[in-house]
Amino acid sequence: MLISAPFEEREEREDPARANGSASGLGRALQVIYAVGESGPEGVGVSALAREVGLSKAVAHRILKVLSDDGFLSFESDTKRYTLGPGALQVGLAALRQLDIQRIVRPLLERLVAVTDETATLSVRQRWSRIYVDQVLSPQEIRMSVTLGHPYPLHAGASSKALLAAMDDEEITRYLATHSLDHVTATTISSRDQLLAEVAMIRRRGYAVSTGEREAGAASIAAAVLGAGGRVLGAISVCGPLHRFQTTEMPHYGALVAGAAQEASRAAGYRP
């Protein structure tokens, strides 16, 4: 990558022993990019970012400047914060175009909307968060719509919990050790024990349910899509206003979503 060359050379001159692995210039730059991406639309300042990734303020500032000069990040002089720039958008859009999972899942989303009259979505994992990458909107006048590309934590909402439950136990333990279970709404799961119990239930049942955990007044049901070797590719969900998701309908919607996720998994090469 062009953005890494000048920075990596400087890092090697400063400390050759740190020139390999995640401590290398490229590894540090990627840490910074992920942290800026996960900060959301408001962006992040140098000091907060340095604390987040465990770098000195001087090193963090140097990386941010290199990435900003290349257009990968944008700097807002009024707020002194960094956000993802046009270079990141270009790379992200290219990655989305290459994701076969979208091509596989799109017809299944359309089918779910036709059967349920609710919005259907596709999410993928992005490091320790989750983003929506596609949706098919409900035909109803009052309906759910989601923001594509915005990161959400892995403990809040049905799609997030479906992805979390599909991860291996070691990864779940690492997530819990490094992330606080902050409330997104009043009903977000914030207890480690409760979240682990929820993960166990999702694995037994085959789908995750959220009633207002990510967005107040909304409900969703989601199931994970797996690829070859059991790799977690994404999560399919059906979502809508909470009052339309009655308790008696949840198992029916759950079976539909789980069936769509299983079909997508088979098409993506998953073999149990």
**Structural domains for the chain:** 4-91 (1.10.10.10), 99-267 (3.30.450.40)
Q: Find, among 208, 241, 267, the residue nearest to 116 by Cα.
A: 241
3-state secondary structure of 187: coil
Distances (CA, A) of 225 to 8, 29, 152, 190, 207: 36, 30, 18, 25, 11
Per-residue pLDDT of the chain (272 residues; tens, 9 = 90+): 333 333 343 443 344 333 343 446 788 888 888 888 777 677 889 999 899 888 999 998 999 988 888 888 888 888 889 988 887 776 766 565 555 788 899 999 999 999 999 999 999 988 788 999 999 999 999 999 998 888 899 999 999 999 999 999 999 999 999 888 989 899 999 999 999 999 999 999 999 999 989 999 899 999 999 988 888 989 999 999 999 988 777 899 999 999 999 999 999 888 88
Q: Tell me the pTM.
A: 0.66
Instruction: Please list, in sequence order, all residues whose beta carbon lies within 8 angstroms of the beta carbon of residue 20, skipping any fewer than 6 positions away.
Output: none
Beta bridge partners of 148: 132
Distances (CA, A) of 229 to 9, 35, 206, 268, 269: 37, 28, 18, 10, 8
- Tell me, what's the pLDDT at 248? 73
Reading phi first (left if > 0) and then psi (alpha if -120 to 50, else beta), residue 119 is in beta
- The residues pairing with 219 across neighbouring beta strands, listed in sequence order, are 211, 240
Q: How far is Cα 120 from Cα 131, in angstroms, rounded to an integer?
A: 14
How is residue 88 written in tokens?
Answer: 């990141």
